[in-house]
């Protein structure tokens, strides 16, 4: 008998998850005899439910929520002996993972996709000894500014709210020292921001790492080395043209393993949430999950 687990975060996306519950169950019932629904009540519930889906050998796990819920689900699935195919319905503000995979932003369309999806192998990132991520790591005050984005700003400006707070942090910003060893190479210098992207979409901007693919086995590392007027204004058009990696103020390289440290007290932002202090080591888990994407 085939079985699917549906995780719903009722609080995600201004509490719209529950209104799509029945549609999601109906879509999953087209391919599964049994559909079990789990509701999150707080932190770590989605993580725990996803682990349960592995242990109990569910064929499919589907999560409905924002990037926080999807990140927790992935943390429950990664590196398990048995891993169900994974699908999700994006309910959040930014939804970078969904953007990268071509999953529709409209809930009804994302749910319809569950009736006849293609399961695509997808990379995820691992912070060694800590946790997993699916989109981005960031270090620097500009990244930390994103914690100041309020729910009101998010509902008013969407993902633009993060750009606005980030731009505010540009003003009084000073560089920090950074040392990165990667795949047998080394980069050392001063930086204003470091971003490690696994997919093309960062902060809702799909052209951020335009050349990045969800299963290319690589981290795409961007280091903002300079932040001086008037050159800084060239970052914006390059960002939206997908040319950020060629901007003279940016150092760019690809890596499958990274070790990052700094002499200063810095904290890494993981998929938009506050992570742990530096130093850290990260590696790509190539084709770790099978994720439902639109059938071609
Ligand atoms: N029933 C619940 N009530 C309140 N908070 C919950 C509940 N279940 C889970 N959470 C919390 O919701 C957070 C995840 O929210 P998620 O990112 O999925 O949605 P969102 O905040 O609407 O998305 P986005 O940040 O993209 O706008 C987790 O920190 C988790 O602890």
**Bridge partner residues of 255 (DSSP):** 219
- Residue 154 has a pLDDT of 64
CA of 152 to the centre of ligand 1 (A): 15
CA angle (169 as vertex; 166, 171 as ends), nearest 5 = 130
Quick check: 162 pLDDT over 70? no
Pocket test for ligand 1, best of 8, 20, 69 (most atoms within 8 A of CB): 69
Catalytic residues: 273
Residue nearest to atom 5 of ligand 1 (CA): 42
Q: What is the pLDDT of residues 196-205, one digit of tens each?
A: 999 988 877 7
CA of 162 to the centre of ligand 1 (A): 17
User: What is the DSSP secondary structure assignment for residue 171, as one 8-state letter?
Assistant: T
Report the side by side order of strands in the sheet with 267-270: 250-255, 219-224, 193-197, 136-139, 267-270, 273-277
Taking the CA atoms of residue 93, residue 96, residue 99 and residue 105 in that order, the dihedral angle to the nearest 10 degrees is -20
Q: Which of 9-18, 29-38, 83-92, 238-247 has the lowest mean pLDDT?
A: 238-247
Residue nearest to atom 14 of ligand 1 (CA): 68
Backbone Cα Rg of the chain: 19
The number of the ligand 1 atom at minimal distance from the alpha carbon of 14 is 22
CA of 110 to the centre of ligand 1 (A): 19
Structural domains in the chain, sorted by start:
3-116 (3.40.50.10330), 132-287 (2.60.200.40)
My answer on whether omega of the bond before 230 falls inside 30° of 0, hence cis, is yes
- Residue 13 has a pLDDT of 81
Q: Cα–Cα distance between 3 and 35 in angstroms, integer?
A: 6
Q: What is the ipTM of this complex?
A: 0.95
Indicate the pTM of the whole model.
0.90
């Amino acid at each position: 008998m085939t079985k699917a687990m549906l995780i719903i975060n009722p609080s995600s996306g201004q509490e719209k998850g529950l209104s799509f519950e029945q549609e999601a169950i109906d879509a999953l019932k087209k391919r599964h005899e049994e559909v079990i629904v789990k509701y999150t009540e707080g932190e770590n519930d989605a993580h725990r439910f996803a682990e349960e889906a592995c242990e109990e050998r569910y064929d499919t796990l589907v999560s409905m929520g924002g990037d926080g819920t999807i990140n927790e689900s992935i943390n429950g699935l990664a590196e398990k002996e048995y891993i169900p195919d994974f699908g999700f319905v994006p309910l959040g503000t930014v939804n970078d993972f969904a953007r990268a995979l071509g999953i529709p932003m409209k809930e009804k369309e994302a749910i319809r996709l569950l009736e006849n999806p293609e399961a695509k192998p997808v990379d995820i990132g691992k912070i060694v000894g800590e946790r997993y991520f699916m989109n981005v790591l960031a270090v620097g005050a500009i990244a930390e500014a994103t914690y100041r984005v309020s729910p009101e700003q998010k509902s008013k400006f969407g993902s633009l709210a993060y750009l606005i707070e980030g731009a505010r942090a540009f003003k009084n910003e000073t560089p920090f020292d950074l040392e990165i060893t990667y795949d047998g190479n080394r980069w050392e210098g001063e930086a204003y921001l470091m971003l490690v992207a696994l997919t093309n979409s960062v902060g809702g901007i799909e052209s951020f790492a335009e050349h990045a693919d969800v299963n290319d086995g690589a981290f795409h590392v961007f280091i903002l080395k300079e932040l001086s007027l008037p050159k800084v204004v060239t970052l914006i058009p390059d960002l939206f043209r997908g040319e950020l990696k060629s901007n003279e103020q940016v150092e760019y390289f690809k890596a499958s393993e990274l070790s990052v440290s700094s002499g200063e007290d810095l904290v890494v932002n993981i998929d938009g949430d506050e992570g742990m202090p530096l130093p850290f080591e990260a590696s790509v888990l190539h084709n770790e999950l099978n994720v439902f994407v639109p059938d071609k």
